Amino acid sequence: MNTPQPDLAPPDFLQLAGHPLRWRLLAALARSDRVVHELTAAVGEPQNLVSYHLGKLRKGRLVSMRRSSADGRDNYYGLDLARFGSLLSATGGALHPALRLTSPPQGAARPAPARLLFLCTGNSARSQMAEAMARQRSGGAIQAFSAGSDPKPLHPNAVRVMRDEHGLDI
């Protein structure tokens, strides 16, 4: 005879991410950080509804918000993929231990990093800055390169900004 299991509520993560509109917002943010008007266009919903659900996602710490570094007027929303993956693993593990995602064993071969090329005409500033940021932010998951069709010398302001504001040597 089967013993009835206690009524288990779904983990908070599932309740938060499982809402259809929030799931669509998370899917849009998984591809890139976005401002609200980009998200409203991506999901086809009004700004007040998108903002409401972004607030829920921020409160649940699935989504973060940062101000534009250029002029501080725009708010960019982003998804922390590492945290999302950890919550997803814990959610699977709550259902059955075999569903808990694990890291590869110590010494196991890691998948080859993705390769990314930033190509522009001069290769004197933006593409080299993007290359450095992609390498640093990916934690080794991306091999980034930059090139130019008509290369110019590296702009000294690009070097200064990356060193002083981001701690990166380009």
Closest CA to 121 of 98, 147, 145: 147
Please enumerate in sequence order all residues whose Cβ is within 8 A of that of 21, keeping only pairs 6 or more positions apart, or say none.
43, 45, 49, 50, 53
- Please give the backbone phi and psi of residue 136, each rounded to the nearest 5 degrees, phi first: -65, -45
- In this predicted structure, the answer to whether residue 20 has a pLDDT above a threshold of 60 is yes
What distances in angstroms separate CA 73 from CA 70, 97, 153, one per listed residue? Answer: 8, 45, 32
Closest CA to 95 of 3, 13, 19: 13
CA distance 81 to 66: 16
pLDDT of residue 1: 56
CA dihedral 158, 155, 170, 165 (to 10 degrees): -20
Higher-pLDDT residue of 101, 15 = 15
Q: What is the pLDDT of residues 71-119, one digit of tens each?
A: 888 899 999 887 888 888 888 887 877 777 665 555 556 667 889 999 9
pLDDT of residue 3: 61
CA distance 120 to 124: 9
Q: What is the pLDDT of residues 48-64, one digit of tens each?
A: 999 999 999 999 999 99
Question: In the chain, what are the domains?
Answer: 12-99 (1.10.10.10), 114-166 (3.40.50.2300)
The answer, as to whether pTM is greater than 0.75, is no
The sign one gets for the Cα dihedral 96, 99, 103, 104 is positive
Q: How many residues are given for the chain? A: 170
